[in-house]
Amino acid sequence: MSVVDTARTWIEQDPDAETRAELQRLVDTGDTAELDARFAGRLQFGTAGLRAELGAGPLRMNRVVVTQAAAGLAHFLIDSGRDRSVVIGYDGRVNSDVFARDSAEVMRGLGLDVTLLPSALPTPLVAFAVRHLGVGAGVMVTASHNPPRDNGYKVYLGGDDEGSQIVPPVDGAIAAAIDVVAAGDIRSLDRRTDYTVADASLVQAYVDATIATVPAPRLPVDAQPSVVYTAMHGVGWETARAVFTQAGFREPAVVPEQIEPDGAFPTVSFPNPEEPGAMDLAIARGVAVGADLVIANDPDADRLALAIPDGSGSYRRLAGNEVGWLLGWRAAARAADAGLTGVLAASIVSSPALARVAEQYGLGHRDTLTGFKWVSRVPDLLFGYEEALGYLVDPQVIRDKDGISAALELLSLATELAADGRTIADQLDAFAERFGAFASGQVATRVDDLSRIGEIMAALRASTPTELDGVAVESVTDFLDGVEGFPPSDILRFDLDGGARVIIRPSGTEPKVKVYIDTVAATSAEAAALADRLAASVRPLVS
């Protein structure tokens, strides 16, 4: 069958007038190159679920692809003997609500008990609801911090998985079930609309559980640090405000241009707090009101960024590792006070500083592969984080990163410090004095041709550097060869003389090769300077 005939068949089953028209234009104009780009394969369902640009065809996110995914997931739950129930949430991106309703109708039509969240809400609400409701699975329609035209489909599992994201081999089993559905026509699927729509009590249950993770503030509201908050055109604000104020903390000033959900993301080209410029409006608002802290959630509020005054009238955004150090130290101290034992965990590309904290407090420490699907599954977990702004502060409440509960922990920390006349900056200095002066850096190369990623990694394996910026490479670890505790993975680690390390891997969600640099030195300034020099040295190797 020609690609044109394949497109016509797709049009016949597509329930969306917009994507039908989009494909029909390509067929009518004979644009086979663009049709090939849509039909040369299909989106692969993996441990990150689905994520791609909106558009027609099996290599885009659309109602056909989502319906197939929903039916495949339902068949997996039925065939694997799991609980036949699911909770579905969605964010404020274009078509997120449509995809969520399609999923609810199709899964209900296949006999599942389905609960749909009542409105666009943060991703952590779904991860929480899987455990709170005791369902077999959770679905979140979101592309998190991806570009505006993207959307995605994230899956959590209940039961023994305790609300964590899927991992192999489950992702493969779900993908196989989706392929079976995709071989047919979605018009043959039964749809039912008698699913349950959750009420406000579910959101309040999340708020209550999150509030319970921190002590009551030691200062009255008007004496607490002042805060600016941005939702970055996402869905975090209403839930975050409820958490902050009901816990007894000062309500933040907001960035009005970014506080309401808007799938067009008009003020940011890339709605990721890590990206240069993404927090500019929030920082400008912080300067205007003289805020002590500037807090940003990404659009689905599972990540958190923090900026603090830099002493020159503006703000410095803390690296994800710095926030991870502070929250990990706080978790370790709290565990020690309560006489608890357990494990601090971080992804392998996050700073080794957390291991130093665990050692000093007599706690366990685990490195995991990147992704909270791995961090959240560490046994006896007390706290986990990823340098990419993801923090899990209470595994008893939620088994995923949560930008709202992490923000609450930081507000609690900042308020406790303020009660003693200290700041977050002072706490960072105290961390360096106690655990060592660590610094981190990152280099990323975005590619247009995905084959380039493989070429870069192959070249590094064929000719590994013996030094970087004059610092000797003491050892090279290739995770493709198999490393104890890790499945074979496309990761290279270079351990350098003096304790620095460089890790290189392909991104799991974007067309990038990413380099993670970690250093330790006598002072924070020296560690930061070394990280900058190593970044300059490694950049040509991944270009």
Task: Give CA 160 to chain center in angstroms.
Answer: 22
pLDDT of residue 153: 97
DSSP alpha helix (H) spans, 80-168 = 96-109, 123-133
Predicted TM-score (pTM) of the model is: 0.94
What's the whole-number average pLDDT of the chain? 96
pLDDT of residue 291: 98
pLDDT of residue 298: 98
Q: Is the pLDDT reported for residue 1 higher than 80?
A: no
pLDDT of residue 380: 97
Q: How do residues 130-143 score in pLDDT, each as one tens digit?
A: 999 999 999 999 99
Q: Is the pLDDT reported for residue 487 higher than 90?
A: no
Q: Which residue in 185, 181, 152 sits closest to 62, CA to CA?
A: 152
Per-residue pLDDT band for 349 (boundaries 50, 70, 90) equals: very high
Q: Is the pLDDT reported for residue 508 higher than 80?
A: no
pLDDT of residue 484: 83
CA–CA distance, 100 with 112 (Å, rounded to integer): 15
pLDDT of residue 238: 98
Q: How do residues 413-452 score in pLDDT, each as one tens digit?
A: 999 999 999 999 999 999 999 999 999 999 999 988 888 9
Q: How do residues 170-225 score in pLDDT, each as one tens digit?
A: 999 999 999 999 999 999 999 999 999 999 999 999 999 999 999 999 999 999 99
pLDDT of residue 478: 95
CA–CA distance, 119 with 122 (Å, rounded to integer): 10
Q: Is the pLDDT reported for residue 325 higher than 90?
A: yes
Long-range Cβ contact pairs of 215-221 (< 8 A, separation 24 or more): 215/412, 216/247, 216/248, 217/247, 217/248, 217/249, 217/412, 217/415, 218/415, 218/416, 218/419, 219/415, 219/418, 219/419, 221/248, 221/249, 221/250
pLDDT of residue 448: 86
Per-residue pLDDT band for 507 (boundaries 50, 70, 90) equals: confident
- Quote the tokens at residue 21: 């028209």
- Quote the tokens at residue 81: 């003997």
DSSP alpha helix (H) spans, 158-220 = 170-182, 200-211
End-to-end CA distance of the chain: 40
pLDDT of residue 120: 98
CA–CA distance, 502 with 473 (Å, rounded to integer): 9
pLDDT of residue 269: 87
Q: Do domains 13-19+37-198 and 221-434 have the same CATH topology?
A: yes
pLDDT of residue 485: 83
Q: Is the pLDDT reported for residue 147 higher than 80?
A: yes
Beta bridge partners of 294: 228, 307
Name the class of domain 437-542. alpha beta
pLDDT of residue 483: 85
Mean predicted confidence (pLDDT) in 367-390: 95
- Quote the tokens at residue 162: 């305790």
- Quote the tokens at residue 438: 């660590």
CA–CA distance, 489 with 493 (Å, rounded to integer): 11
Q: Is the pLDDT reported for residue 462 higher than 80?
A: yes
CA dihedral (347, 350, 351, 357) positive or negative: negative
- Residue 252 DSSP one-character state: P
What percent of the chain has pLDDT above 70? 100
Q: Show Cβ contacts of residue 128 under 8 Å, excluding neighbours closer than 6 positions.
A: 163, 205, 206, 209, 397, 398
Element housing 316 (H / E): strand 315-317
Considering the candidates 96, 144, 440, 524, report the single residue annotated as catalytic: 144
Name the class of domain 221-434. alpha beta
> Is 144 considered catalytic here?
yes
Neighbours of 99 (CB within 10 A): 29
pLDDT of residue 233: 98
Q: How do residues 8-64 score in pLDDT, each as one tens digit?
A: 999 999 999 999 999 999 999 999 999 999 999 999 998 789 999 999 999 999 999
Helix 17-29 to helix 32-39 angle (10° resolution) is 130
Domain over 13-19+37-198 is classified CATH 3.40.50.12780: no
Q: How do residues 270-306 score in pLDDT, each as one tens digit?
A: 899 999 999 999 999 999 999 999 999 999 999 999 9
- Quote the tokens at residue 290: 């003289």
Q: Where are the domains of the chain?
A: 13-19+37-198, 221-434, 437-542
Element housing 333 (H / E): helix 320-338
